Amino acid sequence: MVIQRTNKCHIPYPSGPYATGCVDFMTEYSSEGCFFRLFYPTDVPVENLKEYSDKWIPWLPHSMYLKGFAKANRIPLFIYKHGPKFIRKKPYYIPTITNAPLSQTQKSYPLFIFSHGYAATRFMCSEYCNSIASHGFIVAALEHRDRSAAATYYYDSPESVFNNTPTWIRHEPLFKRYSVHRHIIRNIQVKIRLKEISKILDILFKIHNGIKVENIMNSSFDLDQFKGKLDCENVIASGFSFGGMTSIYAGAHDNRVKAIIIVDGWMSPLKLVPLMDIKQPILFINSQTFHWPSNIIMINKYCNSGGIRQLYTLKNTTHESHTDTASIWSYWLDPFVWRKINFISFKWTKMNPKMVLRIQSSLTIKFLNENHGYPENCTKANKYIEDHKDRHIVDYIICHTKSNQKTTITYI
């Protein structure tokens, strides 16, 4: 397969066989509504994406998000705006086709719900969401309104939509709060996040059943093409960092979730919550430098709680390796990177960020194929994992099976 190139700066192309379509979706004229980005497969082969580059969407939809990133990370705004490898001479784009028709080649498409991390947004992990959709999933990337997002917004009336005058919800920093207090706040927020995930599933199920739902941001987009096309029996909850904790919480409280994928999960706030009964298969994809003892203890609790559990650690990675940001502005803003510089040769020792994202989506597709039965063909993903396994991936795969009232744990 030969990928056509374009002069536009963009995050990596999706790893699946099909190009994706994309639409932003907002319900209700209040902060109680839902806001998410929908990625879905189209009939366009991924190698032909260049032909549709005029319909790609900007990675950064509004400058207010940039201000939110700066405030949340306590970094001066001018560094984000003018630092190396960020804005450059051209904006960055997501290689997905705005408002493209949904592919009708499959009978139905499993649902993949993605929750962003602390001080992140619906577009922070666009490569990951875009790649999963390109393998035949419908992906809903939330933008939470619990004040954990770097910034988000809603429209309070049809007039504000017409005039494009949103009401912004700013990020609430918690740097000065005590650790236990932060965990209490996070538990309050995760309950709001759970409510949003459940509402989005309700919305998507209504669309599947042909019930009219209004998208106040794009009322002309044809939602009828999704009627009868969603596999409502196969819902996957996933998330990055705080979103990882959100996805496992959703799996415990919403029985529509059939599998959980946690990308470098921030699990520590769960220590204030009794151990939840999680029967669904869980995949953990971890970075090398993010995790500390209390976080690892919590991960181990859920790894050993019964059911199918798989855990991978990607070598020479940091927390932001799992997002688009390392591809866009490299690792220069990452505080963990300074520990990993080889001061003799003055070379970075980080894994190539595009490779991290490709391994991440490949591990996800392999896991869903083995435990979900979809996609049916993951040969390409399996080969990519095998090609990088020894050098870049640490396996710690746990399969729990009951035999004569005993638990057998197999390490691969």
Q: Kindly report, residue by residue over 127-172, the tens digit of the pLDDT.
A: 999 999 999 999 999 999 999 999 999 999 999 999 999 999 999 8
Q: What does the buried/exposed string (b/e) look like for 371-382 if buried means 16 or more CB atoms within 10 Å of the residue's CB?
A: bbebbeebeebe
Q: Cβ-count burial of 217 within 10 angstroms (0-12 exposed, 13-18 middle, 19+ buried)?
A: middle
264 among known catalytic residues = yes
Structure tokens given for 305 = 């709680």
Q: Which of 319, 321, 330, 392 is catalytic?
A: 319
Looking at residue 75, its pLDDT comes to 78
Q: Where are the domains of the chain?
A: 9-410
| Whether 150 contacts 68, CB under 8 Å | yes
Taken as a whole, the chain contains a residue count of 412
Angle at 235 between CA 232 and CA 240, to 5 degrees: 150
Neighbours of 409 (CB within 10 A): 12
pLDDT in tens, 268-300: 888 888 999 999 999 999 998 898 888 998 999
Q: Which of 231, 264, 324, 334 is catalytic?
A: 264
| Whether 45 contacts 32, CB under 8 Å | no
Specify the 3-state DSSP secondary structure of 26: strand
Q: How far apart are CA 264 and CA 280, in angstroms?
A: 18
| Whether 116 contacts 143, CB under 8 Å | yes
pLDDT in tens, 30-78: 999 999 999 999 999 999 999 999 999 999 999 899 889 888 887 777 6
| Whether 202 contacts 147, CB under 8 Å | no
Give the end-to-end CA distance of the chain in Å, rounded to a whole number.
32
Looking at residue 344, its pLDDT comes to 41
Q: How far apart are CA 24 and CA 1, in angstroms?
A: 30
Q: How far apart are CA 220 and CA 200, in angstroms?
A: 20
Domain 9-410 top-level CATH class? alpha beta
Q: Is the pLDDT of residue 347 over 80?
A: no
pLDDT in tens, 361-378: 999 999 999 998 999 989
319 among known catalytic residues = yes
| 3-state DSSP percent of the chain in helix, strand and coil, to 5 | 35, 25, 40
| Whether 249 contacts 272, CB under 8 Å | no
Spell out where 135-287 has E strands.
138-142, 151-154, 167-170, 230-240, 257-263, 282-287
User: What residue type is assigned to position 139 of the chain?
Assistant: V
Specify the 3-state DSSP secondary structure of 36: strand
Spell out where 301-412 has E strands.
308-314, 393-403, 406-410
| Whether 319 contacts 336, CB under 8 Å | yes
Looking at residue 187, its pLDDT comes to 86
| Whether 249 contacts 144, CB under 8 Å | no
C-alpha distance from residue 68 to each of 58, 75, 118, 160, 244 (Å): 17, 10, 11, 22, 21
What 8-state DSSP symbol labels residue 241? T
Instruction: Provide, rounded to the nearest whole percent, the portion of the chain with pLDDT above 70.
Output: 85
Specify the 3-state DSSP secondary structure of 285: strand
Q: Which of 15, 238, 241, 268 is catalytic?
A: 241
pLDDT in tens, 73-116: 877 776 766 654 444 557 889 999 999 999 988 899 999 999 99
387 among known catalytic residues = no
| Confidence band for 125, pLDDT divided at 50, 70 and 90 | very high
Specify the 3-state DSSP secondary structure of 231: strand
